[in-house]
Amino acid sequence: MQTVKVRASTEYDVLIERGILKKAGELIKEYTGAGRALLITDRTVDGLYSKAALESLKSAGINCEKFVFEDGEEHKSLKTVGDILSFAAQLSLNRSDIFIALGGGIVGDVTGFAASAYLRGVRFVQIPTTLLAAVDSSVGGKTGVDMPEGKNLVGAFYQPRLVLIDPAVLATLPDQTFADGMAEVIKYGYISNREILDMVSAPDYKKNIERIICECVRIKRDVVTIDEHDTGLRMILNFGHTIGHAAEKLGNYVDLTHGQAVAVGMVAAMRLSAMLGNEDLSERLIGILEHIGLPTELKYGREDIYRSLLSDKKKFGATVNFILVREPGRAEITPIGAEKLHEYVLKL
Ligand code: NAD
Ligand code: GLY
């Protein structure tokens, strides 16, 4: 078993081991001492993994109820959080009880936010079941939901007490969902550790997935330890996301998955970096993305991309904090003025 220790405002361990789901009960008991829990999951994951999780919790002496909601970003909502809070209240869960998120990034974000609000905060455990959730969303404490006015508009920084990553559960992921997580893995390679790029370039890279996950979690841990609240260094985790988000929004979150948007966003960021006089690193990146089965080209008009970007830009004012990679494994936060950015985006 690999252990990654996170030392943020809350200290917790991320435990990574094939088959760890079956040990979830004993580990959660050991780490939290909880006697009661609410397992929160979505419809698909419920059909695949709730039974194993509940059996393990029961044999560890944890009395666990289950809340299931429908899959999909449209259910990452205040309505779902409200339903969870009502359910927890009807069960009279108290501050010594815990929430457990069993699922992908949506389940994790919703559960974490509900946990942050119930009784002004109950402890929660993340058991990620997608690659994206394992390498990114389950660690670092960003929780929240979407609003009709925008994605991830409401939320809280609220750290889990334990994260259990079982690489074996990734075997049931659809290829596209697996590839979405790989976009984030490739991101870690470019912003922090070029060895990840060699690992994912191998024909049988999936055999090394446990090692790849560990390395990504360590990078996320290192970033979050320095900048938990996203005021500086943590922005490097947004490599490929600035233009990626703009494209995702233009496609109404349907035409492109998040991972696909990040993939085309990373290529665009590399090209933009070359326009600023840096070495053009896009060729190797395109090769890696094609090997994984991710897209590489922006399908939208550049003027539309720029306009979509501007709505994000409001967060920053006159400049956008762009994440640039000058050499694989090293990222920089570079503020770019709106007019300059317009010029560059039109040339992409
Ligand atoms: P997801 O949670 O929607 O899961 C994708 C699909 O895979 C769902 O239908 C789910 O039921 C299914 N699934 C999950 N595990 C499975 C398994 N083992 N086998 C078969 N099917 C399985 O998507 P995601 O990509 O995991 O997460 C995306 C969400 O994460 C977005 O809402 C995004 O905003 C959020 N996110 C949060 C952070 C953060 O730091 N909090 C970071 C990145 C992304
Ligand atoms: N996924 C980006 C972050 O956690 O900051």
Q: pLDDT tens per residue, the chain (348 residues)?
A: 999 999 999 999 999 999 999 999 999 999 999 999 999 999 999 999 999 999 999 999 999 999 999 999 999 999 999 999 999 999 999 999 999 999 999 999 999 999 999 999 999 999 999 999 999 999 999 999 999 888 899 999 999 999 999 999 999 999 999 999 999 999 999 999 999 999 999 999 999 999 999 999 999 999 999 999 999 999 999 999 999 999 999 998 889 999 999 999 999 999 999 999 999 999 999 999 999 999 999 999 999 999 998 876 555 567 888 999 999 999 999 999 888 999 999 999
In testing the pocket of ligand 2, which one of 6, 106, 136, 158 has its CB within 8 Å of the most ligand atoms? 136
What H or E segment, with its residue span, contains residue 115?
helix 105-117
Q: What are phi and psi of 322, to 5 degrees?
A: -95, 140
Q: What element of type H or E holds 156?
A: strand 150-157
Element (H, E) at 99: strand 98-103
H or E stretch at 146: strand 142-147
Question: Which residues are CB-neighbours of 182 under 8 A, at least 6 positions away?
Answer: 131, 200, 259, 292, 294
Site to probe by mutation for ligand 2, drawn from 217, 234, 262, 323 as the one with most ligand atoms within 8 Å of Cβ, is 234
Contact 71 CB / ligand 1 (< 6 Å): yes
pTM of the complete model: 0.96
Ligand 2 centroid to residue 50 C-alpha, Å: 27
Secondary structure (DSSP) of 143-192: EEEEETTEEEEEEEE---SEEEE-GGGGGGS-HHHHHHHHHHHHHHHHHT
Q: 46, 69, 177, 254: which to mutate for ligand 1, most atoms within 8 A of CB?
A: 177
Q: Give backbone dihedrals phi and psi of 66, rounded to 5 degrees, phi first.
A: -125, 140
Q: What are the CB-based long-range contacts (under 8 Å, 24+) for 297-301?
A: 297/264, 297/267, 298/243, 298/247, 298/264, 298/267, 298/268, 298/348, 299/247, 299/255, 299/264, 300/247, 300/250, 300/251
Can you tell me which residue has the tokens 């933009």? 272
Ligand 2 atom 3: the closest Cα is on which residue?
237
Neighbouring-strand partners of residue 14: 4, 163
- Cα separation of 198 and 184, whole Å? 15
Q: Is the shortest distance between the CB of 234 and ligand 2 below 6 Å?
A: yes
Going from the Cα of 85 to the center of ligand 2, the distance in angstroms, rounded, reads: 25
d(CA 212, CA 197): 10
Tell me the CA–centroid distance for residue 244 and ligand 2, in Å. 14
Per-residue pLDDT at 312: 64
Tokens 């402890």 belong to 123
Q: Which residue has the tokens 């006015």?
A: 149
Q: Is the CB of 257 under 6 A from ligand 1?
A: no
Strands 11-16 and 319-327, sheet pairing: unpaired
- For the purposes of burial, counting CB atoms within 10 Å of the CB of 206, is it exposed (0-12), middle (13-18) or buried (19 or more)? middle
Q: How far apart are CA 273 and CA 56, in angstroms?
A: 49
